């Protein structure tokens, strides 16, 4: 960064030979967040992290963050400071510089527009369109936690701090993304923001392939399993339709599967194999916990319950 | 642009040896714009143009635009198309690629977050902090038109299309910026978005200098003069406090003044010399139309009227 906040634009020095990645999100109060549930610090943290995650999903390293806030009259300087503190808490460990900020007024709701710039080696960029039939499908971390945490917040039950934190303060999988990019291990990637069933659809559509996901292999946290059992819900449905996990969903060509599996065994990559990509005509399919194969829907086979 | 809308992030190829300029603005309905006065197309046009102007004010060339919209329920797909058409109308002639878009919901008001990336030769970047005492001060185009146009809109008088267009569809001074940057002619620059009196203050503060502006030299359009006369107002006050003109205000070191004046005479640069930068201790001063020198205030010497 050559110059940050305080001029008409931030001045950034690109690293030679790298391509630039740019992403933006606009977060609206009462649509994307609810100030009854989130603190200003958590809000800033999550707004930054969801954009860092977009860069990670492209195989890139995030470098710079710009933020624009529209503040309703009730917001105090202290609230704004807390939002910035949250942004910095997400950015600092990732080596991301907060280079620009614009603050203006809003009539009723709070809005945050976040832009993140990153870079990547030209050959290491991960697109949604790179998956081929025969590629293996992996996902980092565990799925469905954020949705369960959101339910707890809505029910005013702060009984499970882990699940609530997974919703309010997600973690972008920057290390995993770097490992995949450095080793040129993945053929396609996306971050799980709409839920596994929705996001795998993006990869399938952009890549022109189908998929066969095995519900029995989906990574579920012990906390999610306990939550689902307590509420008599199907944990697989959380994993399939739960959004905002910000885990990386990625495909690996067969020749590179042994290398990825070795990284996983050595715990240098926290990921789980959950299926395989298929020819497009076979569509999107799910192997249920009973071993039966059916079409993949957002809810999985939740309808078989209750 | 290697990839635009449709992945987690846009992929951009930087031009070797150039620095990157990044700017962002968040525009809120009923704060920055009023849909009673502006069409969706004009809104998109102005949102894009104000960001292009920020890049121009840094001596850069805008390259890429990202847009995020938060749409209240009343907005139709046709409205969104019109916003994008306006954005493209601003970007296409400037060679700026619209590379990313994010659309989400809003409860009540319409919000637009626009980000523009540009680039510049490292030695040609224009900062607010580069002005020195003795530098000459110039401004492109004419001042105060946008404010007069806004008054006409508010009064529901569509009597002067020129002034109204200057408010609704401003023009970023990209050509002038390129000429100044290519010739390394300016020592500092800013775009006039808050009004001349406000924006010169930014240059003076960041550069640690004062200024002496001659009100008799301020460039005023015939349309503004007619408007001011009809409403018995001081045209100089429009020029000093009128915002959103998006003209370039820039300083030129004495050694380069002859070259700038030649460009102006050859009509290769539409700019007017309006004053000189002074030592900081002399503060910000204005020579009035009567030749008397006084402190520069946002309203100029409007108080002498009426």
The string of pLDDT tens digits covering residues A171-228 is 999 999 999 999 999 999 999 998 999 999 999 999 999 999 999 999 999 999 999 9
CB A42 within 8 A of CB A112: no
Quick check: B111 and A28 CB within 8 A?
yes
Cβ contact A25–B68 (<8 Å): yes
Which pLDDT score, from 0 to 100, does residue B303 have? Answer: 37
Q: Which two tokens stand for residue A77?
A: 């300087």
Q: What is the pLDDT of residue A8?
A: 73
Provide the mean pLDDT of chain B: 92
Query: Cβ–Cβ of A19/B6 closer than 8 Å?
Result: no
- Domains, chain A, with CATH or none: 19-124 (3.30.1330.10), 136-304 (3.90.650.10)
CB contact under 8 A, B109 and A106: yes
| Position B305 pLDDT exceeds 50 | no
Contact between residue B246 and residue B50 where contact means Cβ atoms under 8 Å apart: yes
Which of B9, B24, B107 faces A55 most closely, judged by CB atoms? B9
Residue of A nearest to B103 (CA): A26
Instruction: State whether B20 and A69 contact (CB < 8 Å).
Output: no
Angle, in degrees to the nearest 10, between helices B40-56 and B174-182: 10
Distance of residue B278 Cα from the nearest chain A Cα, in angstroms = 21
Spell out which residues of chain A touch residue B111, defining contact as CB-CB under 8 Å: 26, 28, 70, 106, 111, 113
Mean pLDDT over B143-158 rounds to 94
For chain A, state the CA radius of gyration: 20
- For residues B11 and B20, give the distance between their C-alpha atoms in angstroms, rounded to a whole number: 14
- Binary contact (A6, B206; C-beta < 8 A): yes
What confidence score (pLDDT) does residue B118 get? 92
- pLDDT-derived band at B14, boundaries 50, 70, 90: confident
CB atoms A107 and B104 under 8 Å: no
Handedness of CA B74, B77, B117, B207 (dihedral sign): negative
Nearest CA in chain A to B248: A8
Residues B104, A26: C-beta atoms closer than 8 Å: yes
Q: In chain B, which residues have their Cβ closer than 8 Å to the Cβ of A32?
A: 104
Assess whether pLDDT exceeds 60 at residue A303: no
pLDDT higher than 80, residue B119: yes
Cβ-based contacts under 8 A for chains A and B: 203
pLDDT of residue B5: 55
CB interface of A with B, residues 117-146, below 8 Å: 117-118, 120, 122, 125, 127-129
Asked if the model's pLDDT at residue B100 lies above 90, the reply is no
Q: Which among B8, B12, B16 has the least Cβ separation from residue A57? A: B8
Containing A64, the helix (H) or strand (E) segment is: strand A61-71
Coil vs helix vs strand at A178? helix
CA B96 to chain centre: 17
CB atoms inside a 10 Å sphere around CB A67: 26
* The pLDDT value given to residue A263: 97
Q: In chain B, which residue's Cα lies nearest the Cα of A16? A: B16
Shortest Cα–Cα distance, A132 to chain B (Å): 17
d(CA B290, CA B269): 29
What number is the ipTM of this complex?
A: 0.84
- Asked if the model's pLDDT at residue B64 lies above 70, the reply is yes
Strands A293-295 and A284-287, by their bridges, are antiparallel
Which pLDDT does position A238 carry in this prediction? 95
Mean pLDDT, residues B100-112 taken together: 89
Q: Please tell me the predicted confidence (pLDDT) of residue B13.
A: 80
Q: What is the pLDDT of residue B4?
A: 56
Q: Do A68 and B104 touch (CB under 8 A)?
A: no
- Average of per-residue pLDDT across A161-175: 96
Q: How much is the average pLDDT of A28-34? A: 93
Query: pLDDT at position A4, please?
Result: 57
């Amino acid at each position: 960064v050559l110059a940050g906040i305080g001029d008409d634009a931030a001045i950034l020095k690109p690293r030679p030979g790298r391509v630039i990645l740019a992403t933006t999100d606009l977060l609206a109060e009462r649509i994307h967040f609810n100030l009854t549930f989130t603190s200003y610090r958590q809000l800033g943290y999550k707004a930054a992290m969801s954009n860092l995650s977009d860069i990670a999903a492209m195989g890139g390293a995030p470098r710079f963050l710009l933020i624009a806030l529209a503040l309703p009259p009730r917001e105090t300087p202290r609230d704004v400071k807390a939002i910035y503190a949250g942004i910095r808490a997400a950015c600092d460990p990732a080596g991301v510089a907060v280079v620009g900020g614009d603050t203006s007024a809003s009539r009723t709701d709070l809005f945050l527009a976040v832009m993140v710039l990153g870079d990547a080696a030209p050959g290491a960029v991960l697109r949604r369109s790179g998956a081929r039939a025969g590629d293996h499908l992996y996902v980092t971390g565990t799925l469905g936690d954020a949705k369960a945490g959101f339910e707890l917040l809505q029910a005013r039950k702060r009984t499970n701090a882990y699940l609530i934190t997974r919703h309010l303060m997600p973690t972008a999988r920057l290390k995993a993304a770097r490992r995949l990019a450095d080793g040129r291990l993945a053929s396609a990637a996306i971050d799980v923001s709409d839920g596994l069933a929705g996001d795998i659809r993006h990869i399938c559509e952009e890549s022109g392939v189908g998929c066969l996901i095995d519900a029995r292999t989906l990574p579920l946290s012990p906390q999610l399993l306990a939550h689902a059992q307590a509420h008599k819900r199907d944990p697989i449905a959380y994993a399939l339709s739960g959004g905002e996990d910000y885990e990386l969903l990625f495909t690996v060509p067969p020749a590179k599967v042994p290398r990825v599996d070795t990284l996983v065994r050595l715990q240098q990559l926290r990921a789980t194999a959950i299926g395989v990509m298929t020819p497009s005509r076979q569509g999107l399919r799910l192997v249920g916990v009973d071993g039966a194969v059916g079409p993949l829907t957002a809810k999985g086979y939740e309808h078989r319950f209750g």
